Amino acid sequence: MKVKVLFFANLREQLGTGVEVVDVPDSASTVAGLRLHLMQRGGAWQEVLADMKVVRVAVNQDMAAATAPLNHGDEVAFFPPVTGG
Amino acid sequence: MKVSVQQEDFDLGLEVLDIQEDNRVGAVASFVGQVRDVPMTLEHYPGMTENAIKKIVEEARAQWQILDYTVVHRYGELQVNDQIVLVAIASSHRADAFAACQFIMDFLKTQAPFWKKEHHPEGDRWVNALEADDQAAERWRKLKQQRLLKP
């Protein structure tokens, strides 16, 4: 199953990528599963995505919880707490 | 009824003119946020940003009478004193206009996907989310729990 993954702000900078298509094993088809899948890459991935207090997730441009299911073609974004306004 | 996420500056006077035409409008409340202390770059999540703001406005419309509104939020490079955000609400009476304006700003701060990176002389720094901003949004949620606002 393929999903489009986006990173914003300091996550984008620390991971060195803003967007990529990720092949997610069917066994990991939730937000939490995708996160663990990415963390297994080690290095900055392990470090940056470990602290869920500072990582927010949106699925198809809606804020999503860790338990949210993922489907083929979904757009999943990881970012820090927002600071606009 | 306008939500705009843009790089360009905005003109408060013109934006207010646009929403005060309806004969039933008796009050317009507006808020402008601007850059203080140091220049910054504002990053956003195109697409989600507009939708998140529209959702907040819809929540406000369920609580208060809003005859017309404009929300503008800028992104990109901004200098000290540059305008960042505008929320303007037209209503029949001031209480609705004031409350809706504050509600929208409070949730925009915690729900709309924008991130500020400040450019300090000693280097760049991503702004940390403030506990106070979460508390401002939480206050409205408590009012809902206490049935002082519609659920």
Domain with residues A2-79, CATH architecture: Roll (3.10)
ipTM score assigned to the predicted complex? 0.92
- Give the pLDDT mean for B33-46: 97
Examine the pLDDT at B27 and tell me if it is beyond 80. Answer: yes
CA of A56, closest CA in chain B: separation in Å? 10
Beta pairing class for B2-6 and B68-74:
parallel
pLDDT per residue as tens digits for the range A12-31: 999 999 999 999 998 889 99
- The closest of B91, B129, B93 to B108, measured between CA atoms, is B129
The domain spans of chain B are 2-145
B2-145: CATH topology: Aldehyde Oxidoreductase; domain 3 (3.90.1170)
Rounded to two decimals, what is the model's pTM?
A: 0.92
B1 to chain A, closest Cα gap in Å: 19
Q: Give residue limits of the domains in chain A.
A: 2-79
Say whether residue A82 is in contact with chain B using an 8 A CB cutoff. Answer: yes
pLDDT digits (tens, 9 = 90+) for B91-139: 999 999 999 999 999 999 999 999 999 999 999 999 998 888 888 888 8
At B88-104, the pLDDT tens digits run: 999 999 999 999 999 99
B128 near A CB under 8 A? yes
- Report chain B residues whose CB lies below 8 A from the CB of A9: 43, 115, 117, 126
Q: Which spans in chain B are helix H?
A: 12-19, 48-63, 94-111, 131-145
For chain B, how big is the Rg over CA atoms in Å?
16
Judge whether residue A52 has pLDDT over 80: no
Spell B94-111 as b/e; 16+ CB within 10 A means b: eebbbbbbbbbbbbbbbb
